[in-house]
Structures are given as C-alpha cells and as structure tokens.
Structure 1
Amino acid sequence: MIIASFLIILAIFLIVGLASARQATGERTDYYLAGQSVSPWLTGLSAVATNNSGYLFIGVIGYAYATGLSALWLMFGWIVGDYIGSTFIHKKLRNATGVTKEASFASVLSRWYGDDFIYWRRIAAVVMVVFLGAYAAAQISAGGKALEGVLDIDPRIGAISVAAMILAYSIAGGIRASIWTDAIQSISMLIALIILAIVAFYDQGGLGEAFAAMQPLDEGRYMNLLPQPDELVGTGALAFGFFVLGWLAAGFSVVGQPHVMVRFMALDDENNMQRTRAWYYGFFILFYILAAGLGLLSRLFLPELASGDTELALPRMALELLPDVFVGLILAGIFAATMSTADSVVLSCSAAITHDLTPSRMEHPYLLKGATAAVTVGALAIALSGSQSVFTLVILAWSTLAVAFAPLLTLYALNRRVSETVAIGLMIGGIAIALVWRYGLGWHGGIYEGLPGIFIPLAIGWALSRPATTAEKKRGSVEQPAE
C-alpha cells in the first residue's frame, strides 16, 4: 500500500508537468520564464516549494530534534530575513527582467543599466553551473535516500527515478512545467506535514501534554528558547546577537539564489508582487511551524535517534504512527520537496549554459532542451558517484550563491551603479570571505558565513558605487525594444 499510494501521487506530479507542455511556445523566454505569464498564486507556491526542498523535510526537522525549542530562531531568522529582501528587491528584479528582455538571472543583472557585463556574466555562469550542479545532485540523491529509508530500496533506483521524472517534464514544458508541479508539490508537502502533526499530537494527548513531556529532556535545556553555548561563537548578548543576525542573513540569502528568484522574474505583472508574497509567506510560515513542531515531537517518539542520524526523524515517525497509505504520502512529500528544487536548479543551470556561458546564445528549442538533458544527466552521475567531496561542496552551495549575487543585486535595487570590475570584485570577494570564514576561521557554526560574505562586499560596493542618474533609472523602468 505504501508503494501504491506513493506511485499514484508521483504519477499525478508527472501528468501535471507534462500537461504544461500544451502551453509551451518553444521560445527561450517561454522555456526559461514561461513568457512572464505566471499567476501570483502559482508563483508563490512554486517559490516556497523551491526554497524549502529536502532542507525542510530533512534538515529543519533534524535540526529541531537535535537543538530543541531554540530551533525557532532558525524559523524567525530565515523568514524575516527573506521578507526584508522581498520588500525592495523582488519587484525591481521582475521589472528589470521585463526591461532587459533577458531570460536568465545572470543576464538580467549584467544588463541592469543597459550595459552588458560580459566577463562578469561568464564568471557568474561558471559559479552557477558548479554550485547549482552540485545542489541538483544532492537533491537527486536525497530522493534515493528517502526510498532507502522507507522502503529499503537501492538508493540508486530512487535517484534515477527522480532524474527521469525531472527530465521528462522539464524538457516538455520548461520552467512552466517546473512551476506547475511545484504548486501541487507544495500542497502535497503541506498535507503530509499536517496529517503527521495531527496524529503525533493526538498520540501524546494534545499540545499541552506533548510540551509538558518535553520539558525534562536534556536536563530541562531542550525547551529553552535561548541557543545552547555550543551554537554560539563567544558568550553573552553579543554572541546571541550575531547568532540571530546569522540566521537573518541566511534568510536574506534567498535573493542570491537564481533558482528561487527566477520564479519572481516569471510573474505575470510586477504589480501582483504583493499577492504573490501573501501566498509565498503564508505557506512558508505554515511549513516552518509544522516542521519545527514535528522535529520537537520526534524526540519523544524516537529517542534513540539522539545518538544516530537525526535527519531520519520524519520517515521514521511516519512509519511508526501512520497507516501505509499515509506513509506513501509522506514519502511522496519528501520526493516532492527534492524534485521541486532539483528541477528548478537544473533549469537555472541550463539557462546559465545556453544564455550566459557559451560565446553565442542558443535559441533553438532543441538546443535548450539538450542543455537541460545534459545538466540532468550530469547531476545524476554526480549523485550516483557518491563522492563525498561533491557533497561537501553542496553544503556551501547556498551560501556561495548568496555571497556571489546578493551584494550586487542589493546595490542595484537601491539604485546604485558600479563598474564591471567592481561587480567582479564583489562576487569573487564575497566567495573568498565565505570560504575563509568557514574553513580558515571555523566560525560558521555560530555565525553563518553569508553574514560577512554578503555585508562586507555590500559595504565596499556602496563605497565604490555611485547613485544612478535619472537617465539610468529611466532605462531601468521604461520598457526597451528587444534586440
């Protein structure tokens, strides 16, 4: 029954993705941006599914299991930091996409004020292909591990299945297929979390009884809202402040993620951004409350995981508490989370190759789809190789993309103008700072490396930039003819 319910839900995902091909035109702006015709609710649900991926089902729940109530700071920082960025960046990025007529994240940034930062764009494309490619491999691998954890199936079979589904509907419908499937995957993810949360709380006798049972854990520290000393760099209020700022920076880092931001670039009208954000943050908050709650609850049901792999908490709880048909739904939810990010990442890599990296841009539909197929096969090969060095790279993918792109995009959104040399320096400098922070100083455990990696280059960039002139601002707000 687990396998049957799981396969039925996967079949629905595939049918929805393939159905999107009926609206495809074959043009590059349609393949990579759905012709900028995506409705607010689809944009919001797609962005939240892409943003949260297996990180929500596996990482957040495992983190809450291990750290206790202080995991709420992750939720607070991530959502508030993301929201701060959205208040002044998302709408301007959508507007710039319409003005430049470009179809990729890097190309829009490179032509923001009417110029073309060719060298910056090529370097940005390399960064995206390397780190997004590793990111895609991790998501494909996560799908295989989910099958192994619940059904004891060879993880390579699961990885191949994820890659095959992504390849089928992404080639058929491009980003429109990705967005349509993301939306239904968001709904399935939310239903899976709600069902498990209701059953788990009911089994404990309700909210009050469950939280009372957690009070004595870890000698009373488990339900302490303040982070534990081993989560901080230093002691006292200053250390706590940097801890919170680090999570805020992690949330703000979303503006540097090409595979997430392209969703807002594909919105039908920049004036619909407020409605889009309502859908996005409504689901975002629900997801995090449910994930954090399940992470805390899992400590009561699975105390043995405290000395093992805490990231297995969700599938293990499902197997212990739910009928087989709902275990299949949970497994499909985990699969949905991994696919909703993997397909987005694959398409962003494809856009970087066809639009930014090659000497001349690829326009033919078969070349665009061929690039998508090549990226998918490459990511699958990396996932099947099991290379630990690659998965170490994946840990850095989020922060590296953030420090590479968030400073420049923030300056542009604040109407500042920089030269191409400065733009390249900000990107390379941000990556260098993040690497030194993590590997040289080892401070990433208490202070997220994106905090210095974003805001030091941002401060330097502000000093080396100048205000955009009235004419330059006009070029950023008045539609230009296509080249």
Structure 2
Amino acid sequence: MTTGGIETFITFGVYLLFLMAIGVYFYVKTDTHEEYILGGRGVGYWVTAMSAQASDMSGWLLLGLPGAVYLSGLKQIWVIIGLTIGTYINWKLVAPRLRMQTEEHEALTIPTFISRKSNDTKGYVKTFSAIVILFFFTIYSASGLVSNGKLFESLLGIDYRLGVLIGGGTIIFYTFLGGYLAGVWTDFFQGILMFFAIIIVPVVAYFAVGGSGAIDVAMTQKNISINLLKYPEALSIPVIISGLGWGLGYFGQPHIIVKFMSIKSVDELWKARLIAMVWVVISLIGSIAIGLTGIALYKTVQDPEKIFIYMIGKLFNPWVAGVLYAAILSAIMSTISAQLLVASNTLTEDFYKYIVKREKSNKELIWVGRICIIIIFVIATLLAMNPNSEVLSLVSYAWAGFGAVFSPVILFVLYKKEIYWKNILISMTVATVTVILWNQSGLGKIIYEIVPGFLMNVIVLYILEKINKDKK
C-alpha cells in the first residue's frame, strides 16, 4: 500500500537532484586528500552542529521513537535522557580536546589518532580499531539501506530492491564526488528539514485532534500513559541502567566525533554545542509529541514505526507531504553517508597509506577513497537486498560495540598525558568479547550490553595502566 502520489515522486526527484548537485559542487572545490576526508579542518560551527546531530539521530528519531511512544507512552524515557546527557558531555568534554589533539598528532582518523597518542609504532591498535569500524559500519550502512528501500516501497510503490539502489545510489553519487564536505553540507540541509518536519507535524496534529483533552481520552482508551508509575517495569534498575547506558556510546561513535575534528576553530565549539543541544532537545520533544498526537489520530495502525508517515499523509496536502516525507529520507541518508565516509577513510588512511610505502599524491589518495566507498557500498547493498534482513536488529548492537570498544579509550587518551598502547589493545579486546558474549548469552535483554562492555574496558585499562606505568 503506497502513501504518496505523483507529488511525492516529483518532490523526491527534486530533492535527490539537489543532493547530487551538492556532490558536483564540492567535487570541483576539493583538491587535497585532507579536504576530501576531513574538509581541511575548516568547517563552520553551524554546519558542524547540524551535521553531527543529523548523522546521529537517523531514522530512529522520526520512525523508531514516535512508534515506541505510540505503543507505550514514555516507557523509553531513560533512553531519551541517556542520549541527551551523552550528547552534551560529548560536545563539552570530548569535542575540544579531540579537535586540538588530532591536529597536533596529524591524525585524520580515530584509529590513527589512538595509535599515535599511545605510541603504537607497530600499528596493532590502529589495525584492530580499523577492523572494528569496518565491520560495524558495513552492517550499520546496510541497515540504513534496508530502511531506505522500505521507505521508497511504502511511499512510492516501487520495488524494494530498486528503492535500495535509488536511495543508496544518490548517497554514493554525492559522497563519491564531494567527499566529506559534500557529506556535511547535505547533512546541514537534511538536519534543517528534519527539524522543520518534527515541529510542524505534531503542532498541526495537536489542533487537528482537538487539543490535549482529546489526546488524554485516546490514551486512556488505549490504556497508555505518560505516567511511569503505571509501568513498574520501566522503573526497574536494569531498565533505567540500560536506557541511560545509551549515552555512554556517544564518545566512541566515529561518524559523530569525526565532526569535531573538522570544525574550523576550537573557539567555535561552544556555539556548535549550543546549536546541537537546542536541536536535540526540541527534536526529541517533537518526536515524543508525534507519538502522543498519533494516538488520538489512529486507534490502531499496521506498523507503529510508520505513524509519522501515516500522519503526514492524513494531515497535509500532497505537495507539503512530499517535503515532509523527504525529511524521513534525510534522516536515513545523513547517517549512511557519514558511515560510508568514515569506513572509506579508515581503509584509505589506516590501511592503504601504510601498506603502499611509496610517496602518494593527493589525487591518488582521493581516488583510493572513492574506490573504497564503492566497495563498502556494494557489500552493504548485498546485505540489504533481503527486505527481512536481520541487520536491522544489529543497529543497537553496533552502537554498543562502538561505545564499549572506543568510548573509554577515547576518554583515557584525551585526558591522560601518556598511555601504553598494549593496555589499550587488551582493554578493547576485552570490551569486544564482553559485548559479544553478553549479547549472545541473552543477558542483553536484561541489561544493555554496552554497560558491561564499557565497564570492563574502563576497569581493565585502569588496572593495566597502574601496573605498566613504568613502561611508557
């Protein structure tokens, strides 16, 4: 069943052409390898803020969270609180030091930075870090392509696999040509579109249903409440710890923290932080409001995660609806492009540059990066060709993997003057094993695996640093 019409076709077409035009523009503007993978460290604070948050929230903000609220009120409030706190701490404690120290060590990727800061001359830490990034980001990108395909299928009625190729092909086009700058500038416009949509839809819905009274009645009829006291399980210690634990993942998400490395000046980070926090808080409130007003608009829906799509189709004329549908596409695309770029940069910087020993030109490195984007995209697309692919269930798993493996290490590396590379390698390995075993044993259903993985990383790294401090 399709929701959109010819207007959505036209809107999507214009929108995709606009994104590709950005790619062409920055293809002409990009001359050096550093510009291609990090924007030459000259990105403004507005673009940095919007790009980081658009890449972060993805389709979860417009699809997952409203669907969860529609089903059970604010049972997911701990995740929301955890993400909000994590966002602020990331901008406050990680961003300034990461921007300065990566430039001091001439590092363009996270694996290279960790390796150089810990004096890993043999490259073991860098190699392990790069493998983790490549594995999880390929899966992450595939899950985004699945969402892309389903969106095109439900809105335009086209074949799911064709939808994967159209959406993914557009991302590849502008990312392949324009690199990092094309990615952050498309993220900037996508972030604005997402913000606009997440405000206007619940406001229109609120007045359409007749205000808060009608929403309260509908919630009572469906036995849904925003009062957590009516959901004892939501107040249990494991649920609270697991929800807040999502915030621990921010410090280790390469596609988010790489944005800190590219800002023009450390002095502009406080402005970016302010913009980012306003965007996050208002967007999360808007997302919750979508779920609550949706309860009053629809007694039942076939797929709760599509409540935002259903509301747009019911409340707006086709042309406005087409623009708002594009916001959902934006949420998905912004994350995939950021992930593809980080994975490509990892292959180029952390493997190719050190395997091929001869002198390499900027042009050669840029084209190697573009080829790597194609390779990763092909693998991710093959994984996404099955509409029922299980990669979607691995999104939270990947967040836990990055958060447990990288978050403690990033904090230690940034705030310690010296750190021993072998200690990092051991702690990262322990964290990886902990996350995998915790998830596979089913314990992740009790407490989110990022929590034990993060704690094991911190404990092991702290103890080893105390034991081996004389080896630095």
* Both proteins in one fold, TM over 0.5: yes
Deviations 1:372-399 (A, max 9, x none): 1221222222211447344444441111
Residue 480 of structure 1 corresponds to which residue in structure 2? none
Q: Distance in 2 between matches of 1:229 and 1:444?
A: 20
Deviations 1:91-138 (A, max 9, x none): 111112111112112111111255446111111111111110110111
1:366 aligns with 2:373: no
**Count of paired positions:** 457
1:6 aligns with 2:1: no
Which one of the candidate residues 338, 344, 347 is aligned to 2:338?
Answer: 344
Q: Distance in 1 between matches of 2:234 and 2:418?
A: 38
Residue 65 of structure 1 corresponds to which residue in structure 2? 70
Please show how residues 186-335 of structure 1 align to structure 2 within 5 Å. 186-206=191-211, 208-219=212-223, 221-226=224-229, 228-231=231-234, 239-240=236-237, 242-305=238-301, 308-335=302-329
Q: What TM-score results when the alignment is normalised by the length of structure 2?
A: 0.91
Q: Is the 8 A contact 1:46 1:186 kept in 2?
A: yes
Q: Is the 8 A contact 1:416 1:462 kept in 2?
A: no
The Cα shift of 1:224 comes to 1.5
Q: Distance in 2 between matches of 1:226 and 1:77?
A: 19
The Cα shift of 1:445 comes to 3.7
Deviations 1:69-109 (A, max 9, x none): 33333222211122223322111111121111121121111
Quick one: structure 1 residues 226 and 427, their matched pair in 2 at CA, closer, same or farther if it must change by over 3 Å?
Answer: farther
Specify the SS of the correspondent of 2:355.
Answer: coil
The Cα shift of 1:181 comes to 0.3
Deviations 1:254-276 (A, max 9, x none): 11111111111111112221111
Q: What TM-score results when the alignment is normalised by the length of structure 1?
A: 0.89
The Cα shift of 1:215 comes to 4.3
Deviations 1:198-254 (A, max 9, x none): 221111122x324422441443x522134834556xxxxxx34x4333333212311
Specify the SS of the correspondent of 1:463.
Answer: helix
Quick one: structure 1 residues 227 and 6, their matched pair in 2 at CA, closer, same or farther if it must change by over 3 Å?
Answer: farther
Which structure 1 segments of 5+ residues have no match?
A: 233-238, 473-483
Which one of the candidate residues 154, 157, 169 is aligned to 2:162?
Answer: 157
One-letter amino acid of the structure 1 residue matched with residue 258 of structure 2: V
Residue 451 of structure 1 corresponds to which residue in structure 2? 451
Q: Distance in 1 between matches of 2:275 and 2:69?
A: 25
Q: Distance in 2 between matches of 1:418 and 1:350?
A: 28
Residue 84 of structure 2 corresponds to which residue in structure 1? 79
Q: Is the 8 A contact 1:38 1:268 kept in 2?
A: yes
The Cα shift of 1:15 comes to 2.0
1:425 aligns with 2:426: yes
The Cα shift of 1:430 comes to 1.2
One-letter amino acid of the structure 2 residue matched with residue 92 of structure 1: R
1:55 aligns with 2:60: yes
Q: Is the 8 A contact 2:19 2:174 kept in 1?
A: no
Q: Distance in 1 between matches of 2:373 and 2:269?
A: 28
1:120 aligns with 2:121: no
Q: Distance in 1 between matches of 2:137 and 2:125?
A: 17
Residue 476 of structure 1 corresponds to which residue in structure 2? none
Q: Distance in 2 between matches of 1:370 and 1:133?
A: 15
Q: Distance in 1 between matches of 2:75 and 2:393?
A: 26
Q: Distance in 2 between matches of 1:228 and 1:428?
A: 38
Point out the more displaced range, 163-172 or 429-438. Answer: 429-438
Q: Distance in 2 between matches of 1:259 and 1:444?
A: 24
Q: Distance in 1 between matches of 2:207 and 2:388?
A: 42
One-letter amino acid of the structure 1 residue matched with residue 239 of structure 2: F
Q: Distance in 2 between matches of 1:352 and 1:44?
A: 23
Q: Distance in 2 between matches of 1:327 and 1:155?
A: 21
Q: Is the 8 A contact 2:209 2:297 kept in 1?
A: no
The Cα shift of 1:340 comes to 0.2
Q: Is the 8 A contact 2:409 2:424 kept in 1?
A: yes
Q: Is the 8 A contact 2:119 2:420 kept in 1?
A: no
Which one of the candidate residues 21, 24, 43 is aligned to 2:27?
Answer: 21
Q: Is the 8 A contact 1:417 1:466 kept in 2?
A: no
Q: Is the 8 A contact 1:50 1:337 kept in 2?
A: yes
One-letter amino acid of the structure 1 residue matched with residue 315 of structure 2: L
One-letter amino acid of the structure 2 residue matched with residue 216 of structure 1: T
One-letter amino acid of the structure 2 residue matched with residue 420 of structure 1: W
Q: Percent identity?
A: 25
Deviations 1:30-50 (A, max 9, x none): 111000000111000000000
Please show how residues 37-48 of structure 1 align to structure 2 within 5 Å. 37-48=42-53
Q: Is the 8 A contact 2:150 2:387 kept in 1?
A: no
Q: Is the 8 A contact 1:418 1:461 kept in 2?
A: no
One-letter amino acid of the structure 2 residue matched with residue 429 of structure 1: V
